[in-house]
A = this chain, B = another copy of it.
Amino acid sequence: MKHMIFGESHGPAIGVTLSGVPAGIPLDLAEIAFEMGRRAPGKSQLSTARREADEPQIISGFFEGKTTGTPLCALIQNTDQHSGDYSQLKRMPRPGHGDYLGYLRYDGCNDYRGGGHFSGRLTAPLVFAGAVAKQILAREGISVGAHIRAVAGVEETSFLDVPLNPGLLREIAEKPFPVCDDGRGASMQQAILDAKADCDSVGGIIECAVLGLPAGVGSPDYGENVEGLLAQQLFAVPAVKGVEFGRGFAMAGLRGSQCNDPIQVRNGEITLTRNASGGVNGGITNGMPVVFSVVMRPTPSIAREQDTVDLETGENVKLTIQGRHDPCIVHRAVPVIEAAAALAICELLGI
């Protein structure tokens, strides 16, 4: 299964084509809408006030309620665009944003309106593709779910330290602010509102688990290992600046005896009695839940004045970004990370 995402924030539509989808999958459209809704903005003070319908229209690969096996293409119309004056954006790239990179990479020919192809809006078709992938994986008994492990320095318990099951993942997915511990979630939300009040933004960590994956999948080699395949998909999500498996970066302060997960027979089956490795050793699944985290950088669009350059005059200028922006995108990114993970798992399984 391969996917190709297309579109720009202010073009007529954005979308995705998925090839290699197995034939005969009866897509649950309500479930797809549920996933799209988790990512959609405009639901609280924590997000931008923009409202996007985000209703994917499937234009191929789906017939009489089932996937056909030939490429599945979905379009999402762009509707809530403020077609105002973008000339400032063209001249004065926003620090931390794709604007300056689009200018560098595409010789100034990129569609700069609203971030163009760099816009976080492009994660909507990714969530669509991931929702399809999740339904395919569900038929194999595999579930993918994530929570917010940290926001603005406020942390909650890791998935490595709680018993995981598909029901728990679903329960978290249905929360407007997807955490295990709603108390910690409230502190995180307060930290977001504090940053917003400061005309600033915050980042965080999303931790994701894949349950039900068989042991012995992957390879130690380049292009075939579990971590590499997941990381390749995860780093394609805007704002992801790091990926770690199991205890990840904390392992720099741990000892081998704390990281070697003991192999033991329990109830007649060989299992590991700890999951410091996050379900993967030597690039291969070991039968434990695959658990990894990504760090999302703070949203670059902040209301306070910033230093940039006027590309036309070549002079240093002060920039104040107008408009509706997210002080934090971590909570909206949770289904996006799940989507990227689901696509990687399909790839890993040769689906």
Contacts and interface: CB of A to CB of B under 8 A. Distances in A.
A295 interface: yes
Contact of A95 (B153, B215, B262, B300): B262
Interface in A203-228: 203-205, 215-225, 227-228
A184 interface: no
Interface residues of A, number: 138
Nearest to A201: B256
A321 B174 CA distance: 47
B300 A256 contact: yes
Interface string A295-326: 11111111010111101001110000000000
A134 interface: no
Interface stretch (A35-43, A163-171, A275-283): A275-283
Contacts of A63: 8, 11, 109-111, 116
A60 B8 contact: yes
Contact of A242 (B108, B229, B249): B249
B260 A204 contact: no
**Which has the most chain B C-beta neighbours within 10 Å: A109, A201, A264, A311?**
A109
A15 interface: yes
B238 A220 contact: yes
A198 B258 CA distance: 13
A178 B289 CA distance: 36
Nearest to A304: B257
Interface in A55-74: 57, 59-61, 63-64, 66-73
A245 B70 CA distance: 23
A257 B200 CA distance: 6
A236 interface: yes
Nearest to A69: B106
Given A243-B244, A249-B295, 11 more contacts: A3-B222, A23-B110, A24-B108, A95-B261, A96-B259, A100-B281, A203-B251, A205-B249, A242-B248, A259-B298, A270-B314
